[in-house]
Structure 1
Amino acid sequence: MKHRFEVLDIFRGLFASLVFLFHLGPFANTPVLNNRFVENSDMFVDFFFVLSGFVIAYSYQSLANQTQFGLFLKKRFYRIYPLHLFMLLAFVGMEMAKNLLAPYIRVNNLVNPANNIYTFFTSLFLINSTPVPGVKDVSWNIPSWSISAEMMAYLVFGGLVVYLHRSGQFRARNAWYALTIVVSLTLLWSVSNSFRINYSFDYGFLRGILGFFTGVLCFNLFSHTHTGVREWPAAWFSVAEITALLLIGLSIYNGEAMKPWGAAFEILFFICIYTFSFEKGIISKALKSAKVLHRLGQYSYSIYMTHALLISLFNVLFIRILKFPPEAYSYLFLFNFLLIYFVSAWTYRHIEMRFQYKSPKKVHEGEIARK
């Protein structure tokens, strides 16, 4: 089966944009951003985890030995770490600039206790989604906790798949994946005696593993059923797509009531990803027809990783220096997003693509082509 999940990639871009609005909300004073839907859009991070498990399961369930496991981790590291490091250093630069500019403009949080040498190294080594003594909040590039959680999920997934192959238990893989979900959820339950999952710097790695393996099971269901289900009438898929999005929208809007039952979001995202993986409904067709949405999906990782810094810089320029009121974010958010979009286009081309893993064969072919 060779398939490009274009619609799911588009959703990655759309939901990354909603996470941007979530982080912009505290700077604003407008119903456009300060509403129940945007204020609970942090839960879309779990969509990324589930989707990541889905697409990784598509490509990497054949890992059978330590060499393949090492290559898998190397590829994933090259995919996520260069931009993470670039943004971490950018935040260090911003902290230095804040102190230089403080005599001339009003700077909020001149000294941010969360951004210190200790948390710099927890971010640098991607352990900022785990409980670390003395760390009491997210730090530096705030969204990067989820990159740490993603890397933890890769480690667990790759190690488990190799074990299943070597022990002859690969046919029972779905039972093992389900057990991993149960263990993650049980550990989260032990923290709060609820199904709440919206942790970040403390137990975010469990949240990431939970979502990731939910996505792995989702892909395996798709792989097992897609031939038969694909023959269903397109109208059925349209109804399923609309229903899935309505359920997600209602759950996000009622996020404060839903967050104690946050594991329910994993089920909703499972349903959404499975439904849209067929790309046969009316919403799928509409999304695929818009070229800009394909670009949004392509730049989604950069949008996610750059937006926190660009929100801060945008706020300094328009609110602190130019004296726009917070109410102006009712339209300024569009300009802020355009800035993020174009910066993300640059980081996608010059960081994400430039530093991605290239096999020795491809490097050799590239050298021949240049000659």
Structure 2
Amino acid sequence: MINIQQVTKKYGSFTALEGVDVTIDRGEFVAILGPSGCGKTTLLKLLAGFMKPTDGQIEMDGAVAASHRRLLPPEKRNIGMVFQSFALWPHMTVAAHVEFALHHHTNSKKMGKKDRDARVKDVLQMVGLEPLAQRYPAELSGGQKQRVSLARAIAALPNVLLMDEPLSALDVELRMEMRKEIQSIHRQTNASIVFVTHDQGEALAMADKVIVMNKGRIEQIASPEILYTQPETEFVAQFVGKCNLIKGVWKDDHFVPEKYPWERWGDSGVRKTLKSRGLYPVRPEQWKIDRGEGNGIMGRILFAQYQGKEVHYTVQVENEKWTVHTSADESRLQPGDHVTLSLGVSNKQEELQPAISG
């Protein structure tokens, strides 16, 4: 278990992290999600032992691993690390990368040669690289290089696997493939995984728990389903799922939009923080869109983007721009078309399904 308690990190006058509190259970897959500069990589570096916090402390398995006075170095922590850039040595074979980790990790330094060789073989089988054991990095594809990085990280059976945007250097197809690979490794090793990403699709698809960060602070910690259907703050609503935030008034169990008082929208589990600010989050796929004028909210198509099974529209509604997603099977609309919007799907939380793609 990892306990991060009121951790703050400052660089001079700049505060990268402020008052961060998180608990990560053994075997849990946690994604740290946020835009560039939000503090997610700083938090990962603190977990790895690359630097001390300015304030607060980090406990690993009941012992203090880091505080402003104490720092347990990376080699003495039971962790594995996967980097964005693969970080492979050009002169070492695939097998040598895995064996190197066994020579230097605190869990396996005393392992005999026979046991090391067996472990190297087992790990390469796990990630599907045994036939490539004697190849060098220059002879590998991007996906194969990332598998080597994963194999090296898990070789010594670490309790915690830290991943810093490991899929961002790969193309779309490889990213989808590697998601499955990482989930498979998680099931086989039962290590805690802390996965840093700016990609909402990756976080929702893979993690048990998602930590959303913004400007050095935690905005919300929740399961992917809760995060998507019940955002806690305006930032989470717009960053995860691209919600349209509609201003208005909450009256008992329904919402009346400020500019469209004839509308009545039910409570879909909207959090108190958004209610107190007079906001209602509408996800793009919740809108029903009809051509021409009708009973609803009038708008005009600004942009239309075909996405395979969906079409993504940007709709001008008075002085605002709303995002609307529809099935590609529906009649296509073009920029300039006048449309009517209404909430055309059930607002019951249990009937809503996340619709984010990576």
Rg larger in structure: 2
Larger strand fraction of residues? 2
Q: Please, what TM-score do these two structures have when normalized by structure 1?
A: 0.23
**What's the TM-score once normalised by structure 2's chain length?**
0.23
Higher relative contact order (CA closer than 8 Å, sequence separation 6+): 1
